[in-house]
Amino acid sequence: SQTIHQWPATLVQPVGSPLSLECTVEGTSNPNLYWYRQAAGRGLQLLFYSVGIGQISSEVPQNLSASRPQDRQFILSSKKLLLSDSGFYLCAWDGTSSSGNTIYFGEGSWLTVV
Amino acid sequence: SQQGEEDPQALSIQEGENATMNCSYKTSINNLQWYRQNSGRGLVHLILIRSNEREKHSGRLRVTLDTSKKSSSLLITASRAADTASYFCATALNTGFQKLVFGTGTRLLVSP
């Protein structure tokens, strides 16, 4: 069966410090991968998605970047964090069925920038 | 901008009652999905309904879709305290790559 791992689960970082959140998917090949952000009490905002190694699409201009160095690895990064980067970050992959794509989420990473 | 808007934003009921949440969207879609999120956790997929379907059931869940009104509803029957969570609708747009666009969610509280 497929599983998705995301880490770290919680992170407190000072303003201006770098960020690296990692996500790996097991049990599937060539998945579409996603990074979402959820501000407190809000819906999910799609940040990046990737359809293959080295292929990254950005949905919103921001202080973050994403990379996909391997088929089942997706990394969210920042060189210098801002206070506004605080939030709940969710990695996800999708499984295709005849009905459409279903998104499977990791457990999320809580980022607090202080 | 958000495609889906859930209504109500918050809902408080007693165990055994039914809970109904609504979702409205703006553009044509390929399918609409409902997800559940327990506090501080990742989202879990509940049900997917295609644009050519009008109703779908899964256990105590019933989802309807009205494409003419661009709206969907999620009904949870005989609710339990364990149903307490936030519920999100997400739409897959008629584009080549199916990105899901999530609404802002309904917070459901089921009291024992």
| B73 or A28, which is more confident | B73
Judge contact between B73 and B20, C-beta under 8 A: yes
Tell me if B92 and A100 make a contact (CB, 8 A cut-off): yes
CB contact residues (below 8 A), chain A span 52-91, against chain B: 59, 88, 90
pLDDT tens digit string along A39-86? Answer: 877 788 889 999 899 999 988 877 899 999 999 999 999 999 999 999
How far away is chain B from the Cα of A99, in angstroms, using its nearest Cα?
Answer: 6
Using the beta-carbon criterion (under 8 Å), do B43 and A44 form an inter-chain contact? yes
DSSP string, B5-46: EEE-SEEEEETTS-EEEEEE-SS-EEEEEEEEE-TTS-EEEE
| Per-residue pLDDT at A36 | 93
Confidence of residue A30 (pLDDT cuts 50, 70, 90): confident
Q: What is the pLDDT, as a whole number, of residue A99?
A: 53
Is the backbone of residue B78 left (phi > 0), alpha (psi -120 to 50) or beta?
left
Report yes or no: B3 and B67 within 8 Å, Cβ to Cβ. Answer: no
Within 10 angstroms of residue A3's Cβ, the number of other Cβ atoms is 12
Q: What are the chain A neighbours of B88 within 8 Å (beta carbons)? A: 43-44
In chain B, which residues have their Cβ closer than 8 Å to the Cβ of A46? 99-101
Contact B65, B10 (CB under 8 A): no
Mean pLDDT of B9-29: 94
Confidence check: pLDDT of B106 > 60: yes
Cis geometry, peptide bond prior to residue A18 (ω within 30 degrees of 0): no
Strand arrangement, sheet containing A73-78: A3-7, A19-26, A73-78, A65-70
Q: What is the largest CA-CA distance in chain B?
A: 45
Q: Which carries the bigger pLDDT value, residue A98 or residue A94? A: A94
Q: Among B4, B88, B98, whose Cβ lies nearest the Cβ of A100?
A: B98
pLDDT value at position A113?
96
DSSP one-letter string for B86-101: EEEEEEEESSSS--EE
Q: What is the mean pLDDT of residues A99-106?
A: 78
- Answer whether residue B1 shows pLDDT above 60: no
User: For residues B107 and B88, what is the distance between their CA atoms, to the nearest angstrom?
Assistant: 9
B48:A99 CB<8 A? yes
The percentage of residues in chain A with a pLDDT greater than 70, rounded to a whole number, is 93
- The pLDDT assigned to B79 comes to 97
- Taking all residues of chain B, what is their mean pLDDT, rounded to a whole number? 90
Q: What percent of chain B has pLDDT over 70?
A: 92
B81-96 pLDDT tens trace: 999 999 999 988 765 4
The closest CB to that of A99, out of B31, B90, B99, belongs to B31
Asked if residue A98 has pLDDT above 60, the reply is no
